[in-house]
Chain A
Amino acid sequence: MASSATTGNPMPPSLSMPPSQFARLQPHAYLRAHLSPPSSDQPSVRANGRATSQFRVTSVNTGSLTHANGSAVVRIGDTTAVCGVRAELLHTSDISSWGVSQAPSKQNPTNTNEAKDSKSEDEDDQGQIQDLNLLVPNLSLSTGCAPGLTPGAPPSALAQSLSHQILSLLHTTNLVRADDLRIWYQPPNFDSEEFHNPGEGMEVDTEQSGGPEREIKAFWVLYIDIMILSMAGNAFDAAWASVLAALRDTKLPNAWWDDDNETILCSDDFAEAHRLTLRGLPIASSFCCFEGDAAAGWRANVIPDAEEQKKKKGSQQKWILADPDGYEEGLTQERACVVVDKENGKTIIVKMEKHGGWNVDSDDLRKLVDVSSQRWDDLKQALEQC
């Protein structure tokens, strides 16, 4: 840090303290001094030596946990996230709303109409995964991952909101196919009366007893546990990348309904296990916006109109920093996050959010989308290498 400070930016001569102390005493001025280029033709360099739109070195390692169905460790700079996916069976007879909620929506019976299934696959997927809670992400910030976290405390607001962001992104991207999680059963073609057994949880299907229909006997529920081992800013990107890598690594054992025992059996043959077929590869990139004018928030000043602000752009007052570290996150309030996917080389935005300020406008967001799509290429490579 010290060397980059002296080369990038000569300190005023009157200052007789080392840069590391300056960084602690006047963090805002320190970062601004770094970002302000000495001459207009030189690019801004951040205090950590990165360019403004440069991400930290990212490494991915999958399959590190032996007892999980899928796992991954993602390291972005000093931020490390571990994700383990564990699959558990959920019998449809145990779902209290299974018989009840299915019947009213007769126009969309999932277990009778295969052709229709594939047509409205997307909505159907989302519905079943969401209604039955088949994806259960939970993020925890481990003790000691950041100075502020005390052991034994309930999940912090940050951990809870990250959990929700991951869940909501899993739902909106339709990343996991519901069909990968279903365990079907095709009853043998006996005489329907003989076969018919008005046992537990079967009554609801009696009305459709035309012939032996293929039916869902159980679902796999994926418990996605994410642990942030070390937090040095930008926890969401790391957490999401670890979820993505772990889901790509996930293998579900071959499971089938055994009618004689009335239970689900799983094969312990590893070769029979199947991987999840994920939809796309959405990758998250987070940004923060650093305001040059430290006094902006200090005064009850009159805030210029958006138009005026645009005109003033010549003198740079803000820097948008990609993949902020902990130090930079502490100095900024405005955040942006773009999640992109690519299909045949075309960039598709899956989620975009920005809040906490008014400096990032639509032009900036356009640039961020471009940066994010570059990031997609880099991270895709990292994910495929492991």
Chain B
Amino acid sequence: MVSPILSQLNRPDGSAAYKCPATGYNILGAVNGPVELPARRDALKPEEATVEVFVKPGTTTAGVAERYVEGILRSVLGKVVLGREKGFPRRGVIITLAIAGGENMDRGDSYLTILPSLLHAALLSMISASVPLSMTFSAALFGVTKTGDIVRDPSPTAAKASVSLHVFAISSKGHLLLNESEGRFDFDTWELVHQRALSVCQGTASADGDVTMGEGAASASLHGLIREAVEDQIYSDYAYKLDSI
């Protein structure tokens, strides 16, 4: 699995590049914050930070679908950012996500396939920008095929063929932060996918007691992957200190 790269860009406060190996989406995230937003003074909240998300599609101009996904991201990220920390109220945290690689989105396409990558890129950029967060999270996409199999991270074509698509974001503490499901399914199927999402994100023991390691031995869980990426970055950032010891 390609590890995400943090703090690659020079100008923004924080940035991250996240490439989803299965779907091929390559997202570049940048975060600036806290910054003054003089143009939107009346929209600013008096006691907390304003989180703004901007999604920039790779080969088109942003349209209604981007407004929608921005809304979802804003509501998830806005809840995770500790916007009442000192220096943050009445300021903005601006998150810009550019779809730098991967298939194009057509009008009316479901945005679910790209949502986990966008969430990861946004989270890592915020960590890179040292925005205080109450928790981290990880997200995964699942497709349920006609035969009832649950496929993790289906490719865009497989996603189109599946009966239902589910995106889950699970916080580092096990909360269900986000769920977006569409297609045709019943609640029991959803619950199965939910359990699978918990194990993929957290790497916890599944029902029969086995730790699910099937997703790749190096990073047993998505949380682990996120953590490793951040640890690697810290290690390289503080390399000068480590050398001098």
Contact = CB atoms under 8 A, between A and B. Distances in A.
Interface of A: 123, 130-131, 133, 135, 157-158, 160-161, 163-165, 167-169, 171-172, 297-300, 303-307, 309, 333-335, 341, 346-358, 360-362, 365-366, 369
A179 B98 CA distance: 38
B214 interface: no
A309 B176 CA distance: 12
Nearest to B132: A300
* A-B interface, 4 closest residue pairs, ranked by CB to CB distance from nearest: A306-B174, A358-B175, A161-B68, A356-B75
Contacts of A298: 47, 84
B79 A357 contact: yes
10 contacts: A123-B161, A130-B109, A133-B107, A160-B63, A160-B64, A160-B68, A161-B67, A306-B173, A349-B181, A354-B178
Contact of A157 (B70, B111, B132, B171): B70
A226 B230 CA distance: 46
Contacts of A362: 176, 191, 194
Interface stretch (B18-26, B33-41, B182-190): B182-190
A306 B175 contact: yes
B167 to A, nearest CB: 9
B97 to A, nearest CB: 16
A367 to B, nearest CB: 10
A355 B174 contact: no
Contacts of A360: 176
A363 B132 CA distance: 30
Contact of A351 (B48, B76, B111, B181): B181
Contacts of B174: 305-307
Nearest to A298: B84
Contacts, number: 133
B157 to A, nearest CB: 12
Contacts of A305: 173-174
Name the residue among A172, A298, A299, A304 with the largest chain B CB count within 10 angstroms: A172
A367 B173 CA distance: 23
A333 B75 contact: yes
B148 interface: no
A293 to B, nearest CB: 14
B110 interface: yes
Given A303-B135, A356-B79, A358-B171, A172 B67 contact: no
B149 interface: no
Contacts of A168: 65, 68, 108, 110-111, 182
A104 B78 CA distance: 46
A78 B171 CA distance: 37
Contacts of B161: 123
A158 B65 CA distance: 11
A333 B176 contact: no
A341 B107 CA distance: 25
A352 B184 contact: no
Contacts of A133: 107-108
Contact of B78 (A123, A161, A333, A365): A333
B14 to A, nearest CB: 19
Contacts of B109: 130
Which of A333, A350, A360 is the most central at the interface, judged by chain B CB atoms within 10 Å of its CB? A350
B106 interface: yes
A305 to B, nearest CB: 4
B179 interface: yes
Contacts of A297: 48, 84
Nearest to A358: B175
Contacts of B213: none
Given A168-B110, A335-B75, A349-B187, A303 B179 contact: no
B87 to A, nearest CB: 12
Contacts of B175: 303, 306, 309, 358, 361
B226 interface: no
Interface string B5-46: 000000000000000000000000000000000000000000
A348 B108 contact: no
Most chain B CB neighbours (cut-off 10 Å) among A169, A297, A346, A361? A297
A222 B87 CA distance: 50
Contacts of B78: 333, 356
Contacts of B82: 300
B180 interface: yes
B134 A303 contact: yes
Given A160-B64, A298-B84, A351-B181, A358 B176 contact: yes
A380 to B, nearest CB: 18
Contacts of A354: 176, 178-179
A127 to B, nearest CB: 9
A303 B173 CA distance: 8
